[in-house]
Structures are given as structure tokens and as C-alpha cells.
Amino acid sequence: MNNFRKPILDVLRGQTPEHIPVWLMRQAGRYLPEYREIRAKSKNFLNMCLDSDLATKITLQPIRRFDMDAAILFADILLVPMALGVPLEFCEGEGPVLKKLEDEKSIDALFYESEKVSAVFETVRRVASSLPKKTALIGFCGAPWTVACYMVDGKGKTNFTRTQTWVKEKPELLQKLITRLLDASEMYLGAQIEAGAEVLQIFDSWAGLLSGTAFARFVIEPTQELVARMKKKYPQVPIIGFPREAREGYVPYVRQTGVDALSLDSSVELNFAKRELQSVKPLQGNLDPALLVQGGSEMIKTMENILSTLGPLHIANLGHGVVPETPPEHVTELVRFIQNFRI
């Protein structure tokens, strides 16, 4: 087979890859000593995202060390609210803190300025020109619902109770915010593609907070619209959707949103996934990040079961991001095992 085919693009087009491709969410991050070294010298996380030199180096770190099949742009889903004019900080030990949206006026005031995130697109250009030929470059954004959660509650460790109140009591206001985010995300993703991103992933980390009609309105509908807009302009760029913890929502999500592949969290049962989801679209993910911390035969046995159940229309990945406690040697072992697995 042609060496220059990218296995991940094969899977996303529904074709059998030369080997099952692998990449990991948060593959560049605090578990890597070379990341911690750059982080120790930097003012803060946001500065690292907005410095193309550093962000390029960090994006390439896991590729150099592990030779994954895809690189994911080093950036953050909260750069979109920042580009919309929302003050954003990453506080040590606290995670992101944003200025909360108060009312309709504060939503009307949101205005997307692409220049505020131009460093991100420069990073994409630089990474695209330095990747090995078989390695794909993944761009991303947060789904409107998940980004709205952070903008309404102002931070992460809140269960997003204020946002959930808006769902029930101010759905029109939330809809207005979601529409703004949809427009901004369209521009943000378009610029990533123009700069060289070959695949997109839409992270809906808090999709699981909604169900029923609210899930349809705030998760499925905006994702469907975002995918449709991207497909209209860039039909060749595959899109992976990740409605984390959506449980029974996974089925309508994969059937209705138009995504090219579906990323599974660790709670999705494999035989259900094969039967109800993989019959619709290729799948990604599912390995519990805790097993990557543990390593050894338990990790390999579980991975082998995922690979043999889901077969070649699958991109190996975790059910969520790599955690800081992960020993890098476990990642080496996992990637080698997956890439040598006989389909």
C-alpha cells in the first residue's frame, strides 16, 4: 500500500487502513516532561496557546516521542469566547475562569475578532509543514453547548448549574448565545482548514448534562448546523463528533448531526457501539484513561478487546483526555501495540 496514505483519513472515508490509527486526546500535556519544561518557563497556559513557536513545539512533542497517526493542534476550546471579547484566565489549580455573561446585552456585545486568535492559525500552518507524511493534522473547537456552559457559569467546577437554569428558564437567551457561538465556530474552524487542518473534532464535553428535547435543541441542532456549514465549504474535510457522556443521546447524535465519525467516552458499551453506532459511522475512542495510568496487561487486554470488537473502521483513542499522572512509557507501549495489531 502507498506509504503516503494517512490511516486516519482512510478510516474517516470508510476505507480499510493499513493499520488501525491511534492518537490520544490531550496527547500534549502535563504528563510529558518536555511539556512541563516549556510550561515552567512560560507565564501561563494561555500564553503558550497564543505563542505559535511554543504551540508548534508542543503539538509536535507527542509525535516525535510516540509517532501517533495524528497530531492535534495545541490550543483550547475557550479561545473562541476569548476571540468574542470575553476576558479569560487559566488559574493555577482552578482551571479556566471567564467573565460570566449577565444578560442579553452582554450577548449582543460579543463580537468575533479573528486577529485575537491569529496565532492559532499560524501554529496550524507551521505544524502542517513539519509533520511526517503519514500523520494527519486535527483542528478542533468546542461545540456551542459546551462553550456556552463555560460562558454562562464562568468556570468549570460548578456542574454548570447556572447554565442548566438558563435551559429551563431562559431558553431564548441561551439560543441566542448558541447562535453566536455557531457563527464564531464556523469562522474559527474555516481558518484552521485554510491554514492546513485536515480533520476537525467538535468537543461536546458536557453533552451529557442534557437529555430529551433540550439535548435535541442545544446539542444536536447546533452541531448539525455547524457540520452542514463546514461541509458546504469544505466537503473533503472529515469531522469527528464527541458528545461525551451523552448515553442514549449517542444514537440520534450519530444519525442526525452529519459527523463523519463518532468519539466514544469510556462508559459506552462496546457491543452496543458496534451494533447501533458503528453501523452508521466509523468510531473513535473508548479506552478508559485510568487504564493508561495503570498500564500493563490490563491495559493491553482491554485495548485488544476494543480493537477486535470494532475492527478497522475505528480510530484508537481514549474515552477522555490523558491525565497528568500517566507514565509516558505506558503511552509508548499502547501506541506500539495498536500500530502492530493485525487487522
Q: Which residues bind ligand CP3 (CB under 6 A)?
A: 25-30, 39, 45, 72, 74-78, 90, 95-96, 140, 156, 203, 205, 321
Q: Which is nearer to ligand CP3, 90 or 341 (CB)?
A: 90
Q: Which is nearer to ligand CP3, 26 or 99 (CB)?
A: 26
C-beta of 298: minimal distance to ligand CP3 in Å?
24
Question: Can 39 be counted among the known catalytic residues?
Answer: yes
The number of angstroms, rounded, from the C-alpha of 260 to the middle of its chain's C-alpha atoms is 14
Out of 5, 26, 65, 125, the active site residue is 26
C-beta of 73: minimal distance to ligand CP3 in Å?
6
Q: Which is nearer to ligand CP3, 261 or 312 (CB)?
A: 261
Out of 5, 39, 229, 247, the active site residue is 39
Question: Can 162 be counted among the known catalytic residues?
Answer: no
Residue 307: burial class (beta carbons within 10 Å; 0-12, 13-18, 19+): buried
Mark out the alpha helices in the chain (DSSP H runs): 7-12, 33-41, 45-49, 52-66, 79-83, 104-108, 118-130, 144-153, 161-169, 171-195, 212-215, 221-233, 250-256, 270-272, 289-294, 296-310, 328-340
Out of 5, 30, 162, 217, the active site residue is 30
Out of 76, 153, 204, 260, the active site residue is 76
Distant-in-sequence, close-in-space partners of 141: CB < 8 Å, separation ≥ 6:
77, 80, 147, 185, 188, 189, 200, 202, 203
Q: Which is nearer to ligand CP3, 54 or 77 (CB)?
A: 77
Distance CA 290, CA 238 (A): 29
C-beta of 198: minimal distance to ligand CP3 in Å?
15
Question: Can 30 be counted among the known catalytic residues?
Answer: yes
Question: Can 336 be counted among the known catalytic residues?
Answer: no
Element containing residue 200 per DSSP (H, E): strand 199-204
C-beta of 29: minimal distance to ligand CP3 in Å?
4
C-beta of 307: minimal distance to ligand CP3 in Å?
22
Question: Can 13 be counted among the known catalytic residues?
Answer: no
Residue nearest to ligand CP3 (CB): 205
C-beta of 301: minimal distance to ligand CP3 in Å?
26
The Cα-based distances of 170 to 104, 167, 176, 177 in angstroms read: 10, 6, 10, 11
Q: Which is nearer to ligand CP3, 280 or 321 (CB)?
A: 321
- Residue 196 grid coordinates: 492546513
Distance CA 197, CA 313 (A): 21
Secondary structure of residue 73 in the 3-state scheme: coil
Out of 150, 188, 250, 253, the active site residue is 150
Q: Which is nearer to ligand CP3, 144 or 312 (CB)?
A: 144
Annotated catalytic residues are 26, 30, 39, 76, 150
